[in-house]
Amino acid sequence: MKIIPGAVWGLIPAGGGSNSIPTINLTPFIGRPLLDFQVLAAKGSGSLTRLLCSTDHQGIADRCATLGVEVHPRPVHLGAEDTPVMAVIEDLLQNLYAHEGAVAECVALLQPASPFLLAEHIQWTVDALLADPGAGSAQTVVLCPHNHHASEQRVIQDGQVDFRFPDGRANPQNKQTRAKHYLFGNLLVFRSLAALEQQTPFAKPSRPVEIPFAQGFDLDAPDDIKLGQALLAAGLAKLQNS
């Protein structure tokens, strides 16, 4: 597959199906469809040479056209909610390669459920990946809260609750001395060939870019809309300016 060196495309995977929130990508959030905030950040970053949306939903396609985003129709067989995102990525890259003869070296995966993505997050993550020719991807991360740490996680089996990693409790450490753990933030940028070869957009090795915890907020359930609004009202998170 021919690669366009240094080119970085943005890909918004925005299917129409969702069990948690119907048509989640068009759900209003602070007066705008959720999808809009990825587009605002992408256009504000100056890092992306092309912005595409893979969708099987006409309403999403229409909104993308309004925002000036190139729409890539998603095949029917990739329209299920549980469709792996790698299948969507592979379909898009293979299709564009067949029609255009080359694809970008890197792709930024812009997920509409992360409304607090900022232009600088895209810039930092793209820069981190391009600065390391041996890296397969770069991703934003947030520091894992104390009560979410692996040593604090529980499992329930046969009606009994126990620590998920009991062996790690043999020599307990306080939160100041235990190893830091991280959660995924709000952005992944990967090298096209590495993702195709490894069959995952989280291609290894992956470079970390730490961002503030609240900016990694993911909207997944109806109550998350209120939670996201509360984070904004408290000044703990911010949106990309329009």
pLDDT digits over 190-227, tens only? 999 999 999 999 999 999 999 999 999 999 888 999 99
pLDDT digits over 48-64, tens only? 999 999 999 999 999 99
**Domains and their CATH numbers in the chain:** 3-144+180-233 (3.90.550.10)
Looking at per-residue confidence, does 179 or 143 come out higher? 143
- In this prediction, residue 17 carries a pLDDT of 63
Place of tokens 């998920």: 164
Is residue 6 scored above 70 in pLDDT?
Answer: yes
Segment 9-23 shows an average pLDDT of 79
- In this prediction, residue 212 carries a pLDDT of 97
Looking at per-residue confidence, does 148 or 71 come out higher? 71
Mean confidence (pLDDT) of the chain? 92
pTM above 0.85, yes or no: yes
Segment 167-178 shows an average pLDDT of 66
pLDDT digits over 120-150, tens only? 999 999 999 999 999 999 999 999 998 888 8
Q: Which of 15-29, 67-81, 149-163 has the weakest average pLDDT?
A: 15-29
DSSP letters spanning 60-110? HHHHHHHHTPEEEEPPGGG-STT--HHHHHHHHHHHHHHHHS-EEEEEEE-
129: number of Cβ within 10 Å: 27
| Cα angle, residue 196 at apex, residues 195 and 199 outer, rounded to 5° | 75
